[in-house]
Structure 1
């Protein structure tokens, strides 16, 4: 449902008359028996809540369908979707729209489980208007993050935002990403924690972000140590699973006690959708595909071109 305090049917009639029937605002006011300022407010509200959407095509953009095919073949994944232009500069709106299309295509039903990971991209798209209605679908976090100061790494907050937008059923995990050894042992017998790990095993789909290379990385969850020599080879991470250029796991002190699904469990989820839009993530995307941690990639045009141009892309 579109979130607004105004009459949705009246919004639809005003927007349809203005954008589809090409009526002037004065004509719409007479048709709807409202004032002209009211018509202006109705049209503006219809745009604000996502009832009306615009696409501005870039004539210099390449053939995205051909680019998607080339990138899919290079990565060896099931699907690739590419948003036109630089989505980092556009607040990931195109990525959010494509995610909405992919989720609609999955045909998720009441009782199905959808998992969400943390990260700046997943946080950005979690409240966007282009997401589908998912009543009865259970949404749960993939990693702990209760103590994180950055909302991008607070998985419960991402789940809440997503559920508010889609009317899915949220499930929350009250655990840090890296519990102490004693808390880790307690969690293994905690009913609420076990309920979440059961959802991980039942998941129909998962939406993950792709972290950029560890070296020089600015955005990092608080549980991952800075300046850790063992993490220097890491070119990316998905769900706090760090990996090198070959897609092999990179461990670091405390990584054996992180709250996250295992790599094996991640590979067993039928649909794993990765969101990654940043040219710095080209090696992260390549290696993540080699690790088998996603089956669908949603990215943008500059990032897709950077992946294809990367020296490792032919390996």
Structure 2
């Protein structure tokens, strides 16, 4: 890589940090090990070189290489990696939102009718917020997860509805709590004709977009009231690594069966998935979950961050 290419790489990285993550020039200087004046010039250069339009048109080459290597290592059909070296988690999440929205927008732009299976969570909600408004009423969004908590409240992250609004398409939701009160109660919910019609639609979705969640005290499922502190501790004793749609798996990507599993009403997922399932996750606290999801082949597409990609590729 010559001097000019290195300058473009730095300018592209600085542009991501400034325009997407919202970092100050001093924050960027600190993250890149440069002076504030140099950081300021890099941001100006990015604009002058035409990198900055509605999105950042010059990708970071290292991130592209990491994505290609991850795609080969884990046999993924799609992989994207956003810059994250030296960044805090909040900035990484903002970058994931923009890159995730770009991935989704390419599928939404398809003129032929598509069915999108959608999970829930903060990352997916941020991605949908970053999506442009696209007039695609021929598409459908189907929820993959029950959104009723233990106290009968609904989740604050009703992602499928928001996505349907952005596309002006139809929205289908799972009419059930995430976890039923008992196995018998689960059977009652899941045998309802409405549930079965929606679940069948979700299982036959053209593509499914899901978050990959960490599991521990204070994790989203715990904080939102879907699982108790005692249930979290029980899962930790089983060496839980992560979850998707309330399906828990260990560090080898093997599903953990237990009391919660017998009451889960989400649309079924499985390891070594034959479906088009794209996962969106990044940041240090989600590394174990991402690694396990890839190891167990719960996803065949991934949007993640640079530091996570480097660690994944270092694993044997």
The TM-score with structure 2 as length reference comes to 0.70
1:1-315 equivalences in 2 (<5 Å): 53-55=54-56, 63-85=62-84, 86=87, 88-90=89-91, 92-106=93-107, 108-109=110-111, 111-130=113-132, 132-147=134-149, 153-154=155-156, 157-181=158-182, 182-212=184-214, 214-216=215-217, 218-221=219-222, 222-228=225-231, 229-232=233-236, 233-264=239-270, 267-269=273-275, 271-309=276-314, 313-314=315-316
1:71, distance to aligned residue in structure 2 (A): 2.3
Counterpart-to-counterpart distance in 2, 1:246 and 1:266: 12
User: What is the aligned-residue RMSD (CA, Å)?
Assistant: 3.1
C-alpha spacing 1:277/1:151, structure 2 compared with 1 (3 Å): farther
C-alpha spacing 1:297/1:124, structure 2 compared with 1 (3 Å): same
1:267, distance to aligned residue in structure 2 (A): 1.7
1:165, distance to aligned residue in structure 2 (A): 1.7
Task: Classify the secondary structure of the residue corresponding to 1:220.
Answer: helix
C-alpha spacing 1:252/1:109, structure 2 compared with 1 (3 Å): farther
Counterpart-to-counterpart distance in 2, 1:257 and 1:148: 12
Counterpart-to-counterpart distance in 2, 1:129 and 1:97: 8
1:290, distance to aligned residue in structure 2 (A): 1.7
Task: Classify the secondary structure of the residue corresponding to 2:95.
Answer: helix
Counterpart-to-counterpart distance in 2, 1:150 and 1:280: 29
Contact map agreement 2:217 2:229 (CA 8 A) in 1:
no
Contact map agreement 1:207 1:272 (CA 8 A) in 2:
yes
Contact map agreement 2:121 2:159 (CA 8 A) in 1:
no
C-alpha spacing 1:166/1:94, structure 2 compared with 1 (3 Å): farther
Could you list the runs of 5+ residues in structure 1 that have no partner in the other structure?
A: 1-51
C-alpha spacing 1:211/1:265, structure 2 compared with 1 (3 Å): closer
CA offsets per residue over residues 120-160 of structure 1, 9 Å max, x none? 211221222347543221101111112378999456x2111
Aligned residues: 255
Counterpart-to-counterpart distance in 2, 1:121 and 1:170: 20
Counterpart-to-counterpart distance in 2, 1:285 and 1:249: 14
Counterpart-to-counterpart distance in 2, 1:147 and 1:188: 17
Task: Classify the secondary structure of the residue corresponding to 2:180.
Answer: coil
1:216, distance to aligned residue in structure 2 (A): 5.0
1:289, distance to aligned residue in structure 2 (A): 1.1
Contact map agreement 2:71 2:79 (CA 8 A) in 1:
yes
Question: Greater shift after overlay, 241-250 or 142-151?
Answer: 142-151
CA offsets per residue over residues 82-125 of structure 1, 9 Å max, x none? 12234842373432333333234446455421111112211221
C-alpha spacing 1:96/1:68, structure 2 compared with 1 (3 Å): same
1:235, distance to aligned residue in structure 2 (A): 0.8
Contact map agreement 1:110 1:135 (CA 8 A) in 2:
no
Moved over 6 A (4+): 148-152
Contact map agreement 1:231 1:251 (CA 8 A) in 2:
no
The TM-score with structure 1 as length reference comes to 0.70
CA offsets per residue over residues 225-250 of structure 1, 9 Å max, x none? 32445411011111211111111111
Counterpart-to-counterpart distance in 2, 1:110 and 1:94: 29
Task: Classify the secondary structure of the residue corresponding to 1:207.
Answer: strand
Q: Which residue of 2 aligns with 1:11?
A: none
- Larger Rg: 1 or 2? 1
Contact map agreement 2:280 2:302 (CA 8 A) in 1:
yes
C-alpha spacing 1:230/1:148, structure 2 compared with 1 (3 Å): closer
